[in-house]
Amino acid sequence: MPTGIAILGCGTIGASVATMLLRDHAIITRRSGQRLQLRHVIERDIAKARDAGVPRRLISDTFQTALDDPDTQIVIELIGGLEPARSLVLQALKAGKHVVTANKYLLAIHGTELLAAARKAGRALMFEASCGGTIPIILALTRGLLANDISRVVGIVNGTCNYVLTQMTEQNEPYADALKAAQAAGFAERDPTFDVNGMDSAHKLAVLAGLAFGVNVPFEAIERAGIDTLQDEDLGFAREFGYVCKLLAIGDKADGGIALSVSPTFVPREHMLAAVRGSFNAISVTGHASGETLYYGRGAGGMPTASAVLADCLDVALGSAERLIAQLPAFQKRRPAKFLPARQIVARYYLRVTALDAPGVLAKLAGILSNHGISVAGLTQHERRATPATAAGTVAAVVVMTHETTGGAVAKALKEIDALPEVAAPTVRIRVL
């Protein structure tokens, strides 16, 4: 008997999953010994599903059709967003269906509730495609590294941002053009704001950190900044100083708790994450026995993501998915872990101060940094031709690379620095890996 499948939502990923189910069944069966059968595509826009090559008889705009079909065992939720996705997933589980989803937003916000519903129903709720697109990172965290105490997860987990940053850095393409191209390629969320403001990466970090550290991650515990406020000048400085700017999601088990953040970060050019280009993602996970491990692949796009969706379906068909979900320590209502506020997160920083090119300014900056216990690793002053001159004199970019310090110390120092009469614009602060 084949395992019957209903796809909920026929957008970029839904269309690719349908294509694979209709076209690649020989490969799937040869590789897994399982037969997957596409039985329903639930899509309000019937023409859209037909354009994706789905036979008309499989398309319906009523979810109940799939719920009532006893030969449909799996519902693949690919509509995205919180509602109605949450209600439909709950409905599917209640109706005895297994659920596969790529919806990181839904998991980050309602994961605990939905996993509890799945356990209660004795069904699986699988989500390999929710993080890192095609990369089997959920598999690595829930099985491959299961014997490890994990201390760190660091990843490039948004294909859109990585594509945009790569185009800006390597081709000098303007931000808006690169973002448009990422949307046209089907990498971006329906509302690309979620990509560029770091929300999407934070959703993924909530899922990954939950699995890695075996905790429930309250979404608000994640300190977040996106690429939407980056300035070309800083990408130039990154290049000049031997770094590449990436949007990184970082989860660290620090002494006092768990530190979670998403932010543009300068990555040393020789670091493996610096070589991750375009829509590719990569996630590094460090375990006490494994040491550092790295997972790489296409983080966005229809077919790469469909590959991960179908891996989950096969896990269900093979009977291993329900057992995995039943014992998963993440997404459990248990004593919440301690999460470090941003001010306690320890990191190195790049600071770009826009200051009047006047005597004594450097000394003042150094004094303030020192008063806050921030040790300077490097300091350069650049008088840039492009830098605007003010009535008071020439403005120069003073770039400071700090040693490790806390977010709190940097915030306090910058408040004082930006209040100096010689400082002409808010100081830019970017984390350094």
| By CB under 6 A, residue 354 contacts ligand HSE | no
- Which residue has tokens 């829509």? 279
Angle at 245 between CA 240 and CA 246, to 5 degrees: 165
Least CB distance to ligand HSE at residue 76 (A): 15
Distance in angstroms (rounded) separating the CA atoms of residues 77 and 378: 50
Give the residue numbers marked as catalytic. Answer: 204
Three-state secondary structure call for residue 86: helix
**Under rule CB under 6 A, residue 188 binds ligand HSE:** yes
**Binder among 187, 266, 331, 339 for ligand HSE (CB under 6 A):** 187
Minimum CB distance to ligand HSE smaller for 4 or for 226? 226
Kindly state the tokens that stand for 241.
């100083």
HSE of 148, CA atoms in CB hemisphere, 13 A: 22
300 near ligand HSE, judged by CB under 6 A: yes
- Pick from 4, 14, 159, 198 the residue near ligand HSE by CB under 6 A: 159
Q: What is the DSSP code string of 273-315?
A: GGG--TTEEEEEEEETTTEEEEEEEE-SSHHHHHHHHHHHHHH
Residue 199 or 365 having the CB closest to ligand HSE: 199
299 binds ligand HSE, rule: CB under 6 A: yes
Stretch that binds ligand HSE, among 61-69, 74-82, 184-192, 236-244 (CB under 6 A): 184-192
Nearest approach in angstroms of CB 189 to ligand HSE is 4
Q: Is 155 in the site for ligand HSE (CB under 6 A)?
A: no
The pattern of x and - marking residues 198 through 217 that bind ligand HSE according to CB under 6 A reads: --x-----------------
DSSP code at position 375:
P
In the complex, minimum distance from the CB of residue 114 to ligand HSE, in angstroms, rounded to a whole number: 18
CB-based contacts of 355, cutoff 8 Å, min separation 6: 361, 365, 395, 396, 398, 420, 422, 423, 424
Measured at CB, which residue is nearest to ligand HSE? Answer: 160
Q: Which residues contact 169 (CB under 8 A, 6 or more apart)?
A: 235, 238, 239, 244, 245
CB of 275 to ligand HSE, least distance (A): 18
Among 77, 189, 312, 422, binds ligand HSE (CB under 6 A): 189
Task: Give how many residues touch ligand HSE by CB under 6 A.
Answer: 11
CB-wise, 200 or 223, nearer to ligand HSE? 200
What is the C-alpha separation between 354 and 102, in angstroms, rounded?
A: 43
For ligand HSE, which residue of 16, 101, 142, 160 counts as binding (CB under 6 A)? 160
Instruction: Decide if residue 195 touches ligand HSE (CB under 6 A).
Output: yes
CA atoms within 13 A on the CB side of 364: 18
> What track of x and - describes contact with ligand HSE for positions 29 through 68 (by CB under 6 A)?
----------------------------------------
Contact pick of 16, 73, 101, 158 for ligand HSE (by CB under 6 A): 158
User: Which one of residues 4, 9, 133, 278 is an interface residue with ligand HSE (CB under 6 A)?
Assistant: 133
Cβ 407 to ligand HSE shortest distance, Å: 26
Distance CA 228, CA 188 (A): 14
Minimum distance from CB of 43 to ligand HSE (Å)?
Answer: 19
Q: Does 178 bind ligand HSE (CB under 6 A)?
A: no
Task: Report helix, strand or coil for 345.
Answer: coil
- Bridge partner residues of 393 (DSSP): 390
Q: Is 128 in the site for ligand HSE (CB under 6 A)?
A: no
Helix (H) or strand (E) holding 99: strand 98-101
Contact between residue 199 and residue 224 where contact means Cβ atoms under 8 Å apart: yes
Q: Does 186 bind ligand HSE (CB under 6 A)?
A: no
- Please give the backbone phi and psi of residue 207, each rounded to the nearest 5 degrees, phi first: -70, -50
- Closer CB to ligand HSE, 21 or 188, in the complex: 188
Give the separation between CA 154 and CA 208, rounded to whole angstroms. Answer: 10
Q: Name the burial class of residue 75, with classes exposed (0-12), middle (13-18) and buried (19+) by CB atoms within 10 angstroms of its CB.
A: buried
Which positions touch ligand HSE (CB under 6 A)?
A: 133, 158-160, 187-189, 195, 200, 299-300
